[in-house]
Structure 1
């Protein structure tokens, strides 16, 4: 029950972030389309280079944990709130470049609110999959160890996919 509330909170938080990016994406509309897509590709490549360890880029984030008292006051409401705050991507750590690349892409190219909403919900679902997969594994400690071993490959692969996708999208719009 708590995991379901937490997961729903993650998705709702992602939805809010997607909506905010979608609403503000109109600010980028005056920029010429080729410039917007070139910027998206450049940020995606920078994100990949960061994940490969070739460049050091400090990610803009609120580098602190969500307070424990959120969960201690009312466990059910706290789980949903904790999930929501984590799902927005602005209340705690986001260590991968991929969400930032996606946010830039939604802001610069997401002139449709539906695209921004889907991106936000996708972010929330992606965040929800981690605790769900850990729980489903049956052995959380082993799952954590396996993740640590594979995390770099996961982030590099994800960033590579984003670069390829945004290059293809840019070529289509040039």
Structure 2
């Protein structure tokens, strides 16, 4: 139920972003693409600690009482709220660069759908891997050591991909 909620929440968010992307259609594509690449580069610089940028987010946890009311519905709701990225803390900058890309790229719905599914599945991956490790506390410790590098690599890969697409005129 949690993963289903994550996917539904992410798909709702990306659908809203994709619908709003039409408002930016009159802006020349090269400008929109430049902003997309710049947002990805800013994400890398933020995750490296070079820049201090406050992200627009509700930097708090979803209350645990959501799960206590009804376990199945609560798990779905908890996942949905995490999947939207609106009512929870998002520690990495890459999802914000992805939001900018979906909002400004315009075009078809398939890339936006892929972005939403990727975000939802990415959020589902962490608890699944933690559970599969069989040693949650050790897994948490390893994650803590590697988290900055993981966030930076993700944002960097996204920045490179956006820049290559922009340079190739394939966006």
TM-score between both structures, scaled by the size of structure 1: 0.95
Off by >4 Å, runs of 4+ in structure 1: none
Other-structure match for 1:15? 11
Matches within 5 A, 1:57-72: 57-72=53-68
Is structure 2 residue 81 aligned with structure 1 residue 85?
yes
Is structure 2 residue 153 aligned with structure 1 residue 152?
no
Shift of residue 101 of structure 1?
0.1
Specify every segment of 5 or more residues in structure 1 that has no aligned partner in the other structure, as ranges: none
Other-structure match for 1:167? 163
Other-structure match for 1:138? 134
Q: Is the 8 A contact 1:18 1:118 kept in 2?
A: no
Is structure 2 residue 90 aligned with structure 1 residue 94?
yes
Across the two proteins, how many residue pairs are aligned to each other?
A: 170
Other-structure match for 1:6? 2
Cα deviation digits, residues 22-71 of structure 1 (max 9, x gap): 11111111000100011011111111110111110000001222122211
Specify every segment of 5 or more residues in structure 2 that has no aligned partner in the other structure, as ranges: none
d(CA) in 1 for partners of 2:106, 2:7: 19
d(CA) in 2 for partners of 1:108, 1:173: 15
Q: State which of 28, 35, 55 in structure 1 corresponds to 2:24.
A: 28
TM-score between both structures, scaled by the size of structure 2: 0.96
d(CA) in 1 for partners of 2:26, 2:107: 11
Cα deviation digits, residues 95-129 of structure 1 (max 9, x gap): 11000000100111032122111111110000000
